[in-house]
Structure 1
Amino acid sequence: MEEIIKGCCNRQRKSQKKLYQMFYAYGMSITLRYAESRDEAAEILNDAFMKVFSNIKEYDTNQPFKPWLRRIVINTAINHYHKTKKHREMEVLDLSENGLRKDEQVLSGIAYDEIIEMIQHLSPAYRTVFNLHVIEGFKHKEIADMLDIAEGTSKSNLSKAKQNLQAILEKNMT
């Protein structure tokens, strides 16, 4: 791995290709959660790798690579959200503190691809907040700052995302 990083620092295409191939699936597993389609996810991932290659000299080789890459991929997905936000309307709803109801259960019988597909059916605003809060573990205040929205909007969008996912799940299970 160290040799590949050194090669990337020297802008060697062969090393960049190896790094890309090594972490493509990992990066796609992240971007698919934020994108509306596989094509959009690939676009976000390619942008993220361009940032990786541009900033690889700043990577601390004493630290694990995956978390550094993950941070860049997530930030690139958020930047993509901001770029496309003007073309989409953010749904601002009444503040709702409702979490999932008592019938919330672990989705053990559903394949990962099916869950990703369900998440992709959410609106961009709901999908982004859901991913940042539920999957990535950010607090609503942090999400609000990242997305330049009110904290209440983040909470509301999460609540609506959960409701929509539950409706999608119920529809797919019948």
Structure 2
Amino acid sequence: MGEISNTDLLNLVQACIREDRESQKKLYKLFYGYAMSICLRYSQTREEATEVLNDGFLKIFTKVSKYNPEKSFKGWVRRIMINTALDNYRHNLKHYYAHDVTELEPDTTIQSVEAQLGYEDLIRLVQELSPAYRTVFNLYVIDGYTHEEIAEILSISVGTSKSNLSKARANLQARLKKSLKDEYRKYA
């Protein structure tokens, strides 16, 4: 996200309220990277993330007059993108299938390999999680929601939220370990 003063941002928001297309384009470019990083975490593919991103920006532009200038605009964008990703998840829930976790080896932790993998690699691994695991993982680990809040948002039980998080972590650990073994084989 480029640097922009609060005053310039508020002027840009006001122009977007007036439906000024150039200002909407500037706002889109200004927040594209930040918003896309959120959408990628909640989506299985880049195409799905782009769809969520575009839906999110549509919501931003149609609801920009409801933005409270006393609060962070970046935080407002974040909340809209997360909610749009969750709407997409709920809409596509009937198409998703839960994946069983097999062959887990508990000696590998996310923290132990995080430094060895790049951001793109981690996002790719999170995207490979089943939608239910990916959504709970993102809400809890990345976005700081409690299990009670996640249960309410997704209309699941607190126990299901905790179980999905546990399975997501285990699945990521297994995938991270496999990824490291594959990397090792490449250079061995």
- Structures share fold, TM-score greater than 0.5: yes
> Structure 1 length normalisation: TM-score?
0.91
**Cα distance, 1:82 vs structure 2:** 0.4
**Cα distance, 1:62 vs structure 2:** 2.3
User: Could you tell me which of 3, 10, 15 is aligned with 1:2?
Assistant: 10
Residue type of the alignment partner of 2:12: I
Coordinate RMSD, CA, aligned: 1.9
Structure 2: which 5+ residue stretches go unaligned? Answer: 1-8, 182-188
Match of 2:52 in 1: 44
In the alignment, the residues of structure 2 paired with residue 116 and residue 92 of structure 1 have an alpha-carbon distance, to the nearest angstrom, of 20
In the alignment, the residues of structure 1 paired with residue 128 and residue 100 of structure 2 have an alpha-carbon distance, to the nearest angstrom, of 18
Higher helix share: 2
In the alignment, the residues of structure 2 paired with residue 156 and residue 108 of structure 1 have an alpha-carbon distance, to the nearest angstrom, of 26
Contact 1:8 1:56 in 2 (8 A): yes
In the alignment, the residues of structure 2 paired with residue 169 and residue 10 of structure 1 have an alpha-carbon distance, to the nearest angstrom, of 48
Greater gyration radius = 2
**Cα distance, 1:86 vs structure 2:** 1.7
In the alignment, the residues of structure 1 paired with residue 40 and residue 108 of structure 2 have an alpha-carbon distance, to the nearest angstrom, of 27
Map 1:48-67 onto structure 2 (within 5 A).
48-67=56-75
> Does residue 1:127 correspond to 2:139, yes or no?
no
Contact 1:31 1:77 in 2 (8 A): yes
Contact 2:42 2:135 in 1 (8 A): yes
Match of 1:83 in 2: 91
Residue type of the alignment partner of 1:72: I
SS of corresponding position for 1:11: coil
Q: Percent identity?
A: 49
Match of 2:20 in 1: 12
SS of corresponding position for 1:62: coil
Contact 2:108 2:173 in 1 (8 A): no
Map 1:133-148 onto structure 2 (within 5 A).
133-148=140-155
> Does residue 1:24 correspond to 2:24, yes or no?
no
In the alignment, the residues of structure 1 paired with residue 121 and residue 115 of structure 2 have an alpha-carbon distance, to the nearest angstrom, of 12
Structure 1: which 5+ residue stretches go unaligned? Answer: 94-100
In the alignment, the residues of structure 1 paired with residue 15 and residue 172 of structure 2 have an alpha-carbon distance, to the nearest angstrom, of 43
Contact 1:91 1:157 in 2 (8 A): no
